[in-house]
Amino acid sequence: MKALPEKTFPVSWDMFHRDARALAWRLASIGGFSAIVAVTRGGLVPAGIIARELGIRVIETVCVASYHEETERDAIQVLKPLTETILSRPSEEVLIVDDLVDTGATARAVREMLPRSHFATVYAKPQGLPMVDTFVTEVSQDTWIYFPWDTGLSFQAPIRKTQDLREKIRR
Indicate which residues carry an active-site annotation: 98-99, 102
Long-range CB pairs of 60-64, under 8 A, 24+ apart, other chains included: 60/35, 60/36, 60/85, 60/86, 61/37, 62/37, 62/38, 62/96, 62/110, 62/113, 64/39, 64/40, 64/106, 64/109, 64/110
Cβ atoms of 59 and 36 closer than 8 Å: yes
**Distance in angstroms (rounded) separating the CA atoms of residues 157 and 171:** 21
User: Which residue type, as a one-letter code, is found at position 167?
Assistant: E
Sign of CA dihedral 7, 127, 26, 57: negative
**Residues paired with 145 in a beta bridge:** 9
**Residues paired with 137 in a beta bridge:** 123
